[in-house]
Structure 1
């Protein structure tokens, strides 16, 4: 093998990469011992490959940093400093519902389903503009029935009954038709938010059948509510 043939076959590279057949390898080894150019190319290429291998060993492939996880705005709910007090508060609420609220509702429902004798106060046949003020004594949680007459007049198509509390505010109002007003009116006064003291029941006549229209005062009834100890 001569120099031109070694150059054409790229003998230096194939020799160092161990890609040369055994018979050509022997011929090239005999050649480069006598060829200064091939010997120089062989030493230079060998040095380059060795340096490249050392450099590759030192190179570390950079790992991509994980993307920062997006924090939930409700993450603080799972922290012990918040979760434990919140859980304790939840237990207190559940216990209060089971021991207080639900039994109270059950008792009220049972009362609604059970027939009861309600205390009653009748204002029928009288007008409390003068004379003694009638009164009724009830338990704080006990409703009572209130009955009264409406002095009907043919020019009114309906009537409005307004009940004023002892503080002067309207406790409630009820509209009564002309047909209903022919009989004694009986209404139930609930116990919720009820004040003790003297109430005033005002009866008005509505000329156009609407409580929002012109009204005429027909009667004022006064009565007192007392609570039983």
Structure 2
């Protein structure tokens, strides 16, 4: 899924409403990791939904208790939702949330998504059996940058692309993506930097598996990086 398809399909909104088919949901999750605009839309929508869930039940409960005291009967939440006595303060609360997000939260998110930022580069080497895992201290504002070396060993079959998958200590897939193999150059090291946002991490162990994919689709394990993350906030 590319950005144009995500916008046309209203993928962020449908993702939050759980209306995406499983394959579309997986494609959108993969796209969000690489698209700052869709990530911003998703985070903004999530904040709005969470705040609405916090505000509406409290207002509904307050109105419900008031009416029960007067009439001695219980009414449904949907009935109170549209009564003027409830709707006015509920809408006012939501407008306050929207206003705060438009003037404070969204600009901050947009700034963090579009501005260059510094991320600590973590010294990382392919996993070795029995070796102690390197530990990286990370904060949510900056994340961490992992140096990745895609230089093939002599004699290895050329790769058409590389597949990446990052999993946490529970084996849950945190991120997955595919990168076209860079054009081979004589005496050139194929080094990249994988920047992982702090919001995608939590304290614990992680494993980054890189798979070489040939032009015929044959997949061969290329490298594996294991490391521990310690979050400071």
Partner of 2:96: 95
Compared CA separation, residues 218 and 110, structure 1 to 2 (3 A) = closer
Give structure 1 stretches of 5+ with no counterpart: 1-76
| Residue 214 of structure 1, CA deviation | 3.2
Partner of 1:82: 83
| Residue 102 of structure 1, CA deviation | 4.1
1-side partners of 2:150 and 2:175: how far apart?
17
CA deviation vs aligned residue, 1:151-176 (integer Å, no higher than 9, x gap): 52333222112111222111112222
Compared CA separation, residues 167 and 204, structure 1 to 2 (3 A) = same
| TM-score (norm. length: structure 2) | 0.55
Partner of 1:154: 157
SS at the partner of 1:122? coil
Matching residue within 181, 186, 194 for 2:193: 186
Q: Larger C-alpha radius of gyration, 1 or 2?
A: 1
| TM-score (norm. length: structure 1) | 0.55
Partner of 1:218: 222
* Residues 166 and 196 in structure 1, CA contact (< 8 A), matched pair in contact too: no
| Residue 84 of structure 1, CA deviation | 2.1
* Residues 164 and 201 in structure 1, CA contact (< 8 A), matched pair in contact too: yes
What does 1:13-24 align with in structure 2 at a 5 Å threshold?
none
SS at the partner of 1:99? helix
Partner of 1:133: 133
2-side partners of 1:130 and 1:101: how far apart?
51
Equivalenced residue count is 147
Higher helix share: 2
Partner of 2:106: 105
CA deviation vs aligned residue, 1:125-172 (integer Å, no higher than 9, x gap): x43444221121112343221112135233322211211122211111
Compared CA separation, residues 176 and 107, structure 1 to 2 (3 A) = same
| Residue 107 of structure 1, CA deviation | 1.3
Matched, 1:169 2:172: yes
| Residue 100 of structure 1, CA deviation | 4.7
| Residue 91 of structure 1, CA deviation | 0.2
| Residue 178 of structure 1, CA deviation | 2.4
What is the RMSD of the two structures over their aligned residues, measured on CA atoms?
2.7
SS at the partner of 1:219? strand
